[in-house]
Amino acid sequence: MYLKASLKTSLARLGLLSLALPLTACNMVVMKPSGDIANQQAQLIVASTLLMMLIIVPVIILTLMFAWRYRESNKEATYSPEWDHSTRLELIIWGAPLLIIIALGAMTWISTHKLDPYRPLERLDAERPVPAGVQPLVVQVVALDWKWLFLYPEQGIATVNELAAPVDRPILFKITSSTVMNAFYVPAMSGMIYAMPGMQSQLNAVINKPGTYDGFSANFSGDGFSHMRFKFHGLSNDEFSAWVDRNKADGVELSRDLYQTLEKPSEKEPVRRFASVAPGLFDAIVNRCVDGSKMCMGQMMAIDAAGGGGKGAINALASKPWSNDQKRVFVASLCTPDNAGQYAAQWSSTRSQN
């Protein structure tokens, strides 16, 4: 009796679970996105799954059929212990998967180039190409600990944990990070793109439907990672202009000093608005020289590309501690007008000693 009651309870729970299962698909944003790039990626997932099911489903069905037909109790099944080869079966077993692999390979090669995040958009959706003369909206994205900073160089504003863009206008995201690697991800718009310190990655995308969408970091980056989320607003052109004006009216200037305060680790950061941005801030973030006392990575690479600093390179470098509580040092400069005389004297002394 106890086993029967337990079995009935389990079956009832299983039935309720099966009824609730379809509800989990009500908000499948990855498969029902609002941006053309994400929509093409969803179609690619469906097509790849269907191709693989052409093999998986028949294999499962045939496995069950063979297990049933050739069971020990079925005396009517043909018993051929010496059978070892069939050309027809070999062609089916190897030919069908080979054709599917070729199809998947072709789809992968085409989609890899067609959906390259660095490739400028050629269409707004399946029925509309990008109008001639339309320039993308440039948004500079900085992954901080643990928040997102968005800079709009064309509009001259910046926001924290809030992103907006006009519907049906191409968007060019330039993405970097202040400290550790993150992943910029708005499922309704496109796939995820990594944000890495000292580097700039790109993403070309578009949002086709107005609305408010979730964005977040898809790469673990520390204690505050789970709260590293933001809202992305798809707006009409007039609404976007009003949003820009509101930021200019409500915000303050994002200076380099304020950025250095902002990049310190914090969790659950509210939306913040900045009416203006210090010139060259994003490039300084990418090159890791916001405070002005460090030599930018671009300058270092230019020196290396030109052959390095020469024989006196070590003595001609100004070094400073990275921070007050760290023993690491960084290159502050190679030679500036303020210390040219000092380095010239050091160079002359070094030459006389050698």
Sketch the domain layout of the chain as residue ranges.
28-76+86-115, 128-286, 297-353
Q: What is the mean pLDDT of residues 83-103?
A: 88
The whole-number average pLDDT for the span 147-166 is: 97
| pLDDT for 31 beyond 70 | yes
- The CATH code of domain 128-286 reads 2.60.40.420
Report the Cα 302 to chain-centroid distance in Å. 28
The pLDDT value recorded for residue 334 is 59
Does 80 have pLDDT greater than 50?
A: yes
- 316-337: average pLDDT: 57
Distance CA 296, CA 91 (A): 62
Angle of helix 36-69 relative to helix 87-114, nearest 10 degrees, comes to: 170
Asked whether the whole model's pTM tops 0.85, one would answer: no
Is pLDDT above 60 for 315? Answer: no
Distance CA 231, CA 304 (A): 41
Does residue 180 register a pLDDT over 80?
yes
> In sequence order, which ranges of 253-339 are alpha helices (DSSP H)?
256-262, 281-286, 297-305
Q: How far is CA 281 from CA 30, 80, 109, 273, in A?
A: 34, 78, 37, 16
28-76+86-115: what CATH class?
A: mainly alpha
Please give the average per-residue pLDDT across 37-63, as a whole number. 91
- The confidence score (pLDDT) of residue 63 equals 92
pLDDT at 25: 46
- % of the chain beyond a pLDDT of 70: 79
The predicted structure's pLDDT at residue 205: 96
